[in-house]
Chains A and B, each alone.
Chain A
Amino acid sequence: MYRYLAWTGVAAVLCLVPFYLDGFWLQTGLFAMSAAIGAIGINLLTGATGQLSMGHAFFLAVGAYSYVFFSAEPTARLSGLGLPTGVAAVLAVVVAGVAGGLFSPIAGRLKGAYLGIATFALIFGGQHVLFNAEHLTGGFNGRAVPELNLFGFSFGDTPELIVLQVPFGTLERLWFLGLVLVALSMVFAQGVLKGRPGRAMNTIRDHEIAAGVMGVPVARYRAGVFVLSSMYGGLAGVLLALVFQRTVPEYFGVLLSLDYLAMIVIGGLGSVGGAVVGALFVSLLPQLLTKYSDSIPLVAAPGTPGGVSPAEAARILYGAAVVTVVLFLPGGLLGLIKKIRLRPPRLRLPLSPPSPSPETRSPHVP
């Protein structure tokens, strides 16, 4: 009961955010939402199945660029299909999944860190294509992203829309779309993890041979989870492109992939909540440091010489956070939250009459 109340409360607060906070925070929040979707995907792969992937940024790029390619009207220099934007968004996620599927001969056979290094190839190969296939990707300068338009409702600045005296521009409208997408992603991933596939994935991670013996098709599961995780990456990429309104190849590099791994370790490996918490931490930290750089010692405002810039400070902090979490907080931030919440589970022992057997007490134990 409390759970549902808590969730309703969270949802209500999140829905009120666009009415009170300005564009900077909305954009930051949307980045965090996109990161959350991507992180859920990679947590299914790395956290739940034990397969390391350095190539997550590649699938974000596939999602973002496919959306632009499918939805943009062709011009003399850039090609596009001019499909309805809603269809383009769905196709982009499918294309990301297909890209993951094409990698399955490798994703199914390699395990753990081996796969991690192999997926470096996706990043470098992908960036090579992004820079060189100029008629598709716009090359170094990237491409403008068409606004999303769902069933006649535009997620852009026009037509003007005012809700409760707050002008609803691109960011305000996307905010609600982002919330829905994050919620759906969470529910779906939770379903996967709680059900039969989730148990199979965890068994593969914990003991590959045992999983095989119990009848789990290990290679097929590995490939399947890889596809699922790349579709999550593609969705995150689409949302990211809509928020950015421009896709540039440089963004989708090794650093972005490392960010995603940092997120799931910091948040908590193998759980949906962990991915979301980690995504919030890693994407909000640099923005918070930028905003309040004046009042934090050692961090200089961006552009000033000397001192650590907020972006660098954030990277160092969450790099250190990864190490700290693994050393001292197995289970990540989510594990920490749970531990605090569950602390002293006091057993109320009945004083009289003395309990005949331990079984009768068990309903009191949480």
Chain B
Amino acid sequence: MTTFVELLVNGISIGAVYALIALGFVIIFKATEVVNFAHASLLLAGGYLVARLWPLVGFWAALLIGVAAAALVAAAIEFLVIRRANVASHSVLAIVTIGVDIVITTELTRQIGTDVLAMGDPWGSQVVQFGGVTLAETRIVALVTAAALITAFLLAFKYTGWGVAMRAAAEDAETAALMGVRLGRVSMSAWAVAGGLAAVAALFLCVFPTPGLDRSTSLVALKAFPAAILGGLDSTTGALVGGLIIGVTESMMSGYQNDMAFLGRGIGDVAPFLVMLVILLIRPAGLFGTKELARV
């Protein structure tokens, strides 16, 4: 029973981190209708800067720089590439982001080499006991931070002028533009926010109990893609639920993998993708995604 609770809480915590990534993914999709495959490289960029800078400027400053830099890189991608690509199909834009991803990820993994970089976070490997249940401090911080960021974002999305502009642009870009919403700014800010969220997620993907940031971190980040799509690519609620489903599934499957030896080693890494397939079979638009309807 304690194992179960531990796995559940850990799963929710890692799921909240996936939700952060998936949320950024969904924001970008809503604002620019681009499926951003470069998201994993944004995350890697943020995480890499934090890991390299904390010995020089201290952890908190490094985190701030990392988040700002990831936001900047994301905004630059939007400004230099997405805005200028004049293509008919959004699939092609998705492939462009793959090109961007290849460039950034190759360069960063070259810089990282075979190193495993510590994130220099103040929580280290401390654990907390709650009536027999042992939890890593980092996991609790991750959960709280992710929850706070997500709440802040959803509130901003609902109540601030920026949020209203964004929702208007997502609803009907042309009308929004006629109403004075500056579409360029809206989409650029969407990319920047998504980049920042990805950098925060990078921190929590690389702290204890994982050894640190290494070249496989961008593959870990890929698990946020199923999170985004099983919730529905255009739904912020979907991103949250999707993230939690993926996190808990992964945690449970890894935790109990000895009982499921017939499924093979490392089933925890594959489970998120299998869950995604099952859900897509039943609901092709995801759990909360809007079904595309067309009047002819």
Seen from chain A, the residues whose Cβ lies within 8 Å of a Cβ on chain B are 46, 50-52, 105-106, 109-110, 112-114, 116-118, 120-121, 124-125, 128-129, 131-133, 205-206, 209, 213, 254, 258, 261-262, 265, 269, 308-309, 312, 315-316, 318-323, 326-327, 330
Contact = CB atoms under 8 A, between A and B. Distances in A.
Contact of B96 (A112, A131, A133, A323): A323
Contact of B276 (A51, A118, A209, A318): A118
B95 A265 contact: yes
B99 A320 contact: yes
B277 A121 contact: yes
Nearest to B222: A120
A113 B94 contact: yes
A320 B102 CA distance: 8
A326 B35 CA distance: 16
Given A258-B101, A312-B106, A319-B100, 18 more contacts: A106-B280, A113-B94, A116-B91, A117-B225, A117-B229, A118-B276, A120-B226, A120-B273, A121-B226, A125-B274, A128-B267, A129-B264, A132-B266, A213-B296, A315-B102, A316-B107, A322-B96, A327-B81
A128 B103 CA distance: 27
Nearest to A308: B110
A128 B266 contact: yes
B89 interface: yes
B137 interface: no
B1 interface: no
A262 B98 contact: yes
B281 interface: yes
B103 A326 contact: no
Contacts of A258: 98, 101-102
Contacts of A133: 264
A319 B266 contact: no
Nearest to A264: B95
Given A109-B284, A128-B270, A131-B264, A50 B222 contact: no
A319 B102 contact: yes
A114 B229 contact: yes
23 contacts: A46-B95, A52-B94, A52-B95, A105-B281, A106-B281, A110-B284, A113-B91, A118-B229, A118-B276, A118-B277, A120-B226, A124-B273, A125-B274, A129-B264, A131-B264, A132-B265, A209-B296, A312-B107, A322-B95, A322-B96, A323-B99, A326-B85, A326-B93
B56 interface: no
A112 B292 CA distance: 13
A250 to B, nearest CB: 12
Contact of B103 (A124, A213, A320): A320
Given A312-B106, A318-B102, A323-B81, A330 B87 contact: yes
A322 B101 CA distance: 11
A118 B289 CA distance: 15
Nearest to B276: A121
Contacts of A50: 89, 91
A103 to B, nearest CB: 9
Contacts of A320: 99, 103
A323 B100 contact: yes
B219 interface: yes
A316 B110 CA distance: 11
Nearest to B295: A209
Contacts of B107: 312, 316
B182 to A, nearest CB: 23
A102 to B, nearest CB: 11
A327 B225 contact: no
Contacts of A308: 110
A125 B173 CA distance: 38
A78 B219 CA distance: 30
Q: What 7 pairs between A and B have smallest CB-CB spacing?
A: A322-B99, A319-B102, A132-B264, A113-B35, A121-B273, A319-B103, A315-B106
A101 to B, nearest CB: 15
Nearest to A210: B296
Given A106-B281, A121-B226, A128-B264, A326 B102 contact: no
A288 to B, nearest CB: 17
A118 B266 CA distance: 20
Contacts of B89: 50, 112, 205
Contacts of A113: 35, 90-91, 94
A56 to B, nearest CB: 13
A114 B266 contact: no
A322 B81 CA distance: 11
Contacts of B233: 114
Interface in B252-296: 264-267, 269-270, 273-274, 276-277, 280-281, 284, 294, 296
B281 A112 contact: no
B222 to A, nearest CB: 7
